[in-house]
Structure 1
Amino acid sequence: MRLTHLKLAGFKSFVDPTTLHIHGQRVGVVGPNGCGKSNVMESVRWVLGESSAKEMRGDSMDAVIFNGSGNRKPISRASVELIFDNNLGGATGEWSQYAEISVKRIIERDKGSTYYINNTVVRRRDVADLFLGTGLGGRAYAIIGQNTINRIVEAKPEELRIFLEEAAGISKYKERRRETELRLRDTRENLTRVEDILRELDKQIVRLQSQAVVAEQYH
């Protein structure tokens, strides 16, 4: 998949609907201080599922909504949308059939976020699953901010391993394995509960059989 458009509305300094056309495989965001470079980078992380207000430089996630300025009133809604060209079939699962894929997140003040893929309401996890192993995600290596290089250089071994696994494309398989292990654990716990119930029923059967023998003696 290749990112072709980034659409913002009400997100931080981008109060008016704005569309950025993305050309090429590598894109750099440059400009003077205060022009909104960080807001562009954060908008991509945010729409892909970032859940930490701290990573968005705010006290709460509502802080991404334009909060007013000297001549503009605050608004109550923000949205970011990414549009991908999927003609080469990079997407997997149910979305692989689409030539174009849209990923959108909308937040309303005091109401939380809603995620969409091709205008269908989905879970945050569905968005994350779509990009597993691609290097693109809330904190993946494909989005290189001002502090990303330092973060990689200073990363602890376990943190560096996450970057390498994502780059190698095996993170999605590890996630599937983790989910399978959780399901197996739940199944084992359910079996244990069933065995406890069966033992209790066996005790009741023995008790009822004894009562039946006594009852027959009085007939």
Structure 2
Amino acid sequence: MRLEKIVLDGFKSFADKTEFTFDSPVIAIVGPNGCGKSNVVDAVKWVLGEQSVKSLRGSQMSDVIFRGSSSKKAVGTAEVSLFICGTTGQLPIEADEVRISRRIYKSGESEYRINNKICRLKDVRELFMDTGIGTRAYSIIEQGQVEQLITASKADRRIIFEEAAGVSKYKAHKKEALRKLERTEQNLLRLADILGEVQRQLRSVKLQAGKARNYLRYSQRLKELRVNYS
């Protein structure tokens, strides 16, 4: 499984539709300062679901949309697509090539797609879980990141090793299961409170019903006595 192509359209400095194709499983982006290397890396992280505006070197998410220049007009949307080939047996999807796309509008609203079908950010993250592909995974090594890994805390290094070992997916599923269990327990507690309140109201209603029956019985008896002695 490898990255085959990146398509950028209106993303940061790439005002026009731009394609980068790759024929090697290992990719290095090099070039002089200001040529857009960092923007390509930002595009990959962004389409994989990066939510940190700071990580993308902006003040708000819509800043990734090309704002215009002296020679080109600003655009209204930005879109990035990754084409990943050799995915058969590697990803939980029946396709030898997977296309992941993300589009953003000036409003800040994002839209994700897997093979042109609209999906959730959660679907994108789960698709690549334990593959090393992701915004914080080891598939993207930026300048200075190796040094950061060496000096990182044990907890941070553990996250990377767990991703490489394929443990992250199971930890995420366990975390989700525990959240569901907690919500279920909270719902049971609320149901117990509701049941207790209903039982209290039922006792009160039974008492009132008994009083009403007694009233009707005595009223009927009083009518009979009045008839007998009239």
With structure 1 as the length reference, what TM-score do the two structures score?
0.93
Does residue 149 (structure 1) correspond to residue 152 (structure 2)? The answer is: no
Distance 1:98 1:58, change over 3 A: same
Residue 124 of structure 1 is matched in structure 2 by 121
Q: Percent identity?
A: 43
Alignment of 1:18-33 (within 5 A): 18-33=18-33
Alignment of 1:168 with 2:186, yes or no, is no
Give the Cα separation in 2 of the matches to 1:51 and 1:165: 22
Q: Counterpart of 2:72 in 1: which secondary structure?
A: coil
Spell out the pairing of 1:64-79 with structure 2 (5 A cutoff): 64-79=64-79
Superposed CA deviations along residues 111-157 of structure 1, whole A, max 9, x for unmatched, are 42111111111111111111111111112111001132132122222
**Pairwise CA RMSD of aligned residues?**
1.4
- Consecutive unaligned residues in structure 1, runs of 5 or more: none
Shift of residue 87 of structure 1? 4.9
User: What is the rounded CA distance, in whole Å, between the counterparts of 1:142 and 1:158 in structure 2?
Assistant: 19
- Code of the residue aligned with 2:199 in structure 1: it is D
Normalization by structure 2: what TM-score?
0.89
| 1:85 and 2:92 correspond | no
Name the SS of the counterpart of 2:23 in structure 1.
coil
Match of 1:5 in 2: 5
Say if 2:45 and 2:134, in contact at 8 Å, map to a contact too: yes
User: What CA distance in whole angstroms lies between the structure 2 residues aligned with 1:217 and 1:15?
Assistant: 86
Aligned-partner Cα distance in 1 for 2:214–2:69: 92
Between 1 and 2, higher relative CO (CA 8 Å, sep ≥ 6) is seen in 1
Structure 1 CA distance for aligned equivalents of residues 154 and 108 of structure 2: 38
- Alignment length (residue pairs): 216
Q: Which has the larger radius of gyration?
A: 2
Distance 1:76 1:155 in 2: 40
C-alpha separation in 2, matches of 1:204 and 1:182: 33
Question: Which runs of 5 or more structure 2 residues have no equivalent in the other structure?
Answer: 218-230
Does 2:15 align with 1:15? yes
Task: Say if 2:108 is the partner of 1:99.
Answer: no
How far did residue 98 of structure 1 move? Answer: 1.8
* Runs of 4 or more above 4 Å deviation: none
Q: For structure 1, which segment, 110-119 or 149-158, has the greater mean C-alpha deviation from structure 2 after superposition? A: 149-158
